[in-house]
Structure 1
Amino acid sequence: MAKQIIDDTVMENVEILAKLALTEEERKKAKEKMQEMLDYVDKLNELDTDGIEPLSHTFSMGNVFREDVVTNGDDRDAMLDNAPKCKDGQYQVPKTVQ
């Protein structure tokens, strides 16, 4: 596989897509950093991974969710006891729209 090179055209496209306005110095640094990333990926691609199962985690994962069980119920009166004001079983708040 041919080595990928970050050139000025690629940098212009990245700037447009990311809505960036880089100075020449920032563009040069970003170009170098992006090239370093691509070089690292190329280095990783040199590894022999034949017979290795792809994984998303280093350990097996199972469903860690639990059933959603309501424990406090609907105790509206207790909740309204905490309200500064209530009216007809609802919270009463100051009017915000005129």
Structure 2
Amino acid sequence: MSIQAKDVQHVAKLARLNLTNEEQEKFTEQLNAILQYAEKLNELDTENVPPTTHVLHLSNVMRDDVVQESLPAEKVFRNAPEEEDGQFKVPAVLE
């Protein structure tokens, strides 16, 4: 598979890019080099390789929830600009 200059022009038009002739040639060469490199992957024997979704093992690193006493309201509201009826008072954002 190879990329032609018309393919680069088409993608540039879709992306609303104005490319010079030199840029079109450069991108055509670069994209073809990328495709040639990717085709090397077809030479690999992947018969006994299980499919994966990620190369690294991912696991949840969150700690277990532990019930504990929370801060007293007086301490929580100490640095609040305004408090009303045990709630933070903020300027209205909706009319």
Which residue in 1 is equivalent to 2:11?
14
RMSD after superposition? 3.2
Which residue in 1 is equivalent to 2:39?
42
> Helix, strand or coil for the counterpart of 1:50?
coil
| Partner Cα distance (1:94, 1:66) in 2 | 34
Which residue in 1 is equivalent to 2:55?
57
| Cα displacement (A) at 1:28 | 2.0
Which residue in 1 is equivalent to 2:78?
81
> Helix, strand or coil for the counterpart of 2:30?
helix
Q: Does 1:31 align with 2:28?
A: yes
| Partner Cα distance (1:16, 1:75) in 2 | 61
> Helix, strand or coil for the counterpart of 2:31?
helix
Residues 4-51 of structure 1: per-residue CA shift (max 9 Å, x gap): 111023212322343433222222222211111100011221233333
TM-score by length of 2: 0.64
Which ranges in structure 2 are unaligned for 5 or more consecutive residues?
A: none
| Partner Cα distance (1:65, 1:57) in 2 | 18
Q: Does 1:69 align with 2:65?
A: yes
Which ranges in structure 1 are unaligned for 5 or more consecutive residues?
A: none
| Partner Cα distance (2:72, 2:30) in 1 | 58
